[in-house]
A and B are shown apart, each in its own frame.
Chain A
Amino acid sequence: MTSGSPENPNARPRPAIGETIIGAGVLVLAIVMFWQAMSIPVSPLYAKVGPTVVPLMTAAALGLLGVLLLSDAWQGGWQPEEEKTVTPDRAALLWITAGLVLNVVLIGPAGFTIASTILFVCVARGFGSKAIVRDALIGAVFALIAYFGFATTLGINIGSGWRERDRTGDRRGGRLTWTLSRNFSTALRSRSLR
């Protein structure tokens, strides 16, 4: 489907770098999966279709697909023409990545509002906004609205820093949301299939 240039079938298309990396990545993932699946202990009770059968099938399928992707990549890749002509805006991606990393680092120690405001400002900057003070104000207000919106309507308790603790005030309320969030997170995580 994606093999080579249709106009001149004899010209050897050059391998595409990005696609090769992705194909190799898929292959590496499949190998890691295979190795991980082999290390799952299987009780003889379940020897027929134990916990490793489907993981091994998935790893094998992904491995095969990785090889096919690599072969596509070596035949010139598959990225649409339109996508090839655009060089991604590195500065924008860098700003957003910085915002995300700062958010992960700060959300614990500094609290949700501060981390979110920084994230907001960084993302807005990535999209070309230069009004940092305005963005910070909007971001802080938005973060607080979103925080209380989620906390009250969905009963989620987001890890609170000093800012939120000031405002949540009522201890019982905090307890309640905490319990609710515990309950649903355990239930959600067990993703019961029965």
Chain B
Amino acid sequence: MDAFSQLLNGFAVALTPMNLLWCLVGTTLGTAIGVLPGLGPALTIALLLPITFKVEPTAAFILFAGIYYGAMYGGSTTSILLNTPGESATIVTALEGHKMARNGRAGAALSTAAIGSFVAGTIGTLGITFLAPVVVDWALKFGPADYFSLMVFAFVTVSAVLGSSAVRGLATLFFGIWLGLIGVDLQTGQARFTFDLPELLDGINVIVVAVGLFAVGETLYVASRYRFGKDEIIPLSGSLWMTLEEWKRSWKPWLRGAAIGFPIGAMPAGGAEIPTFLSYYVEKKLSSKPQEFGKGAIEGVAGPEAANNASAAGVLVPMLTLGLPTSATAAIMLSAFQSYGINPGPLLLQSQPQLVWGLIASLFIGNVMLLVLNLPLIAIWVKLLQIPAPLLYAGILVFATIGTYGITQSPVDLILLYLIGGIGYLMRRYDFPAAPVIIGMILGPLAEQNFRQAMTISAGDWTVFFTRPLSATILALAALALFGPKLYQLAMRPKPDHVPGDA
């Protein structure tokens, strides 16, 4: 009940003309970068971080959230028409959606993706509305030791469980934590890992790292294999109106997708990949026409798209209530909070109700805008796909350079940007996930802060993390998540022709 009246206040904030405009700009920009291959929400929000010094927090977060939601909508268009999933979360959409487009049903695929995204996005946002206050009540009991353990848990799940390899995921995570440690230690004033470069005393800017990995690294990677395959764009075909049968086959997958996506996204583990795959398999199992799967089954678009958007909404729950980002985009949003001097966490809902509820209300409004932007206006976005790759990627690199160089006008930042870009290229080529770097970089210093606070409170007693029941439980879960799969594998080993699927 309280959440409901708070939400109404939020709508009062979000419905002011200026905030509506920010929402429109965000959703439009988000759709555009979602459609364009090579650009994603993490990169875009990173490049726009300097805006936090010009506009008030509510407006900035409405803009960022619009980009975040919009990219999810736009990404599905590219998956369906181009078969190059912009993000791992839209791989499944490409699976069936692209087949549908080839069969001349691109219109129906785009419709079920957009409406499914709307339905699931709205359900997911409702989920935030009612779940966030509950999580806050629970999180208020957390001490620094519990927070530290929770962050360890998030580190483990984000890097070791969600990717294809625990070792590689953790390696990139610790690389990110190291990047986060560079600079002056806030507690003691000691310089750490600065290699006597004065430019590094203030730390490495997250913009440099995000843009390096997601713009420079990605461009290098795409260029290195560009001549081997040219994607063909499937022209928009078939009516956008779904037939009665298509509606009938879509609505249940939408709801199931939302039901799968939101809880998984809201867990401090996050990740949009697992819910989309899970939804795909559920739909395949439940479908009355399983033989159509792999040839363009509409359920295979409707379900995963819904799951994707609902989990994107879910990710905002731990971010807003615990200050715990579980995706690269959420991590960059957290750094936006930090640059305002706001600490996301259980107190955020009380200290900044205008901001939080305005943001949540704008998510509802943004979803409506996105439905309009992505269905009647779809033809405009399809045009974006026709930008030739040489110009697109050249533009991305020029933009990335301005965005980074503009922060400090320091060539050191530019060199760092390109070096990290090179590392990003190698990471792509050798199958290292990029998101743990950003999460480690943002969350690492916070984890250290909680670690030191906990140790100070316990007067240097290391066992504090294992004697507090909450902290011990979370650490046990983290250990289970880290070693469980390996132990399971060992236990299963005797079977001779069992080949573990390491996709």
Contacts and interface: CB of A to CB of B under 8 A. Distances in A.
A83 B219 contact: no
B220 A96 contact: yes
B178 A103 contact: no
B338 interface: yes
A68 B174 CA distance: 14
A125 B51 CA distance: 33
Interface string A169-194: 00000000000110111011111111
B409 to A, nearest CB: 5
B415 interface: yes
B383 interface: no
A84 to B, nearest CB: 10
B223 A54 contact: no
Interface string A73-103: 0000011100100101100110110011101
Nearest to A1: B502
A150 B192 contact: no
Contact of A48 (B186, B223, B455): B455
A88 to B, nearest CB: 4
Interface string B283-321: 000000000000000000000000000000000000000
Contacts of A139: 394, 398
Contacts of A150: 402-403, 406
A22 to B, nearest CB: 6
Given A107-B405, A129-B391, A187-B53, 16 more contacts: A36-B195, A40-B190, A40-B192, A43-B188, A48-B455, A51-B190, A58-B181, A65-B171, A78-B165, A89-B225, A122-B394, A123-B223, A124-B390, A127-B389, A181-B407, A192-B186
A69 B171 contact: yes
Interface of A: 1-2, 6, 18-19, 22, 26, 29, 33, 36-37, 40-43, 46, 48-51, 53-55, 58-59, 61-62, 65-66, 68-69, 72, 78-80, 83, 86, 88-89, 92-93, 95-96, 99-101, 103-104, 107-108, 112, 116, 119-129, 135, 138-139, 142-143, 146-147, 150-151, 153-159, 180-181, 183-185, 187-194
A187 B8 CA distance: 34
B226 A188 contact: no
Contact of B406 (A49, A93, A156): A156
Interface residues of B, number: 89
Nearest to B166: A1
B49 A188 contact: yes
A188 B50 contact: yes
Nearest to B423: A25
23 contacts: A1-B489, A54-B451, A59-B178, A62-B174, A79-B430, A83-B430, A88-B225, A92-B227, A93-B224, A100-B397, A101-B418, A103-B414, A120-B397, A124-B394, A135-B394, A139-B394, A158-B409, A183-B53, A187-B53, A188-B49, A188-B50, A188-B205, A189-B408
Chain B CB within 10 Å, residue with most, of A42, A139, A183, A185: A185
A104 B418 contact: yes
A37 B32 CA distance: 44
Given A49-B451, A116-B401, A127 B53 contact: no
Given A19-B430, A126-B223, A146 B228 contact: no
